[in-house]
Structure 1
Amino acid sequence: MQYISYYQSPLGKLLLAADQTGITGAWFENQKYYARGLDAEHTEKETPVLNDAKRWLDLYFSGKEPDFMPPLHPSGTPFQREVWDILRQIPYGTTMTYGAIAKEIARRRGLARMSAQAAGSAVGHNPVSILIPCHRVVGSNGSLTGYAGGMERKIKLLALEKVKVEDYFIPKKGTAL
């Protein structure tokens, strides 16, 4: 059974979802892949896990790095979960490239190389916005490529973490915008 609750962030309303294990989703209203993975049968109810996520988000949006993480339980393929694990290791206030994620996956699997596009697809399908920080992933050329929650939100999230967003650029065209 999944439970949902809403959180009003400075960047828009978030739908939060959790099961008995942890947070299964956090989606901005109208974002790409909104509520993907949310069970058709779910109940709106405050639970300890959802309350922990809201407390974490309160700290985060106040400009502080939260010193705890609510339990997370996103549903995805083994490859996606491996990529999301790497995302969780990107330190607050820093960025990582899709290529670096692909290299880390290749290293973990004992492969010579891994596709940055495959890593990018897994990053883009992250169902737990902000808590699993896919907004910290950038292109190797310094571009602020795609964010399911929208480029404006990605820039604001990075700026909140004191990342020098002026060091990056928004590409004029591309599939990840």
Structure 2
Amino acid sequence: MSRRRLRPDELDLWQHVAKSADPLHKRPKPVERPEPTKPAFRQPEVKPQPLPAFDIGEMTPPHTQTHYFPKTTGQRLKAEPVRMDSKAFTRLKRGKLAPEARIDLHGMTLDQAHPALNRFIVTSHTRGMRLVLVITGKGAREDPYDPMPHRRGVLKRQVPMWMRQAPLSLMVLQVAEAHIRHGGAGAYYVYLRRER
């Protein structure tokens, strides 16, 4: 629908009608509000304190403190709580207690060593033995020309973990690194629970 322009006589009529009409929604006249007064209290201006002299990076720790060196297996075993009699543990650490049986895992792969260790611990436990010796060795020496450094002694790291897993965890009371006369860092004392 196109819009057409009003003729002058129609425009006069429309203005006459518009003057006589009352609007539907009357808007109230705006009320003049007084301007808000400023509070009498003024906060004092705080002058910023000058910064003390400093060097960039002076609070950072020395470079050597940021490195995380993982603990060795021997250090982790020393940090574990003592679950056996403390006097017997002291004698054990001094090499005064003689192991009742021993197993040598030298030259075995993980697949060979794990079932052999399980068999040995279960058999020793059923025979009523309390202290056995597990010889793992210290591991092969590192190759100085190897581009990727790796930790020595796969069996040395795995044996304590196997002792914490079922079924051995039910029989093993304490694992500790052996005294030098029984193999030192290349062997572990395994103190077994009493058979019930």
TM-score by length of 1: 0.21
TM-score by length of 2: 0.20
Higher-strand-fraction structure: 1
From the CA coordinates, give the structure whose radius of gyration is larger. Answer: 2
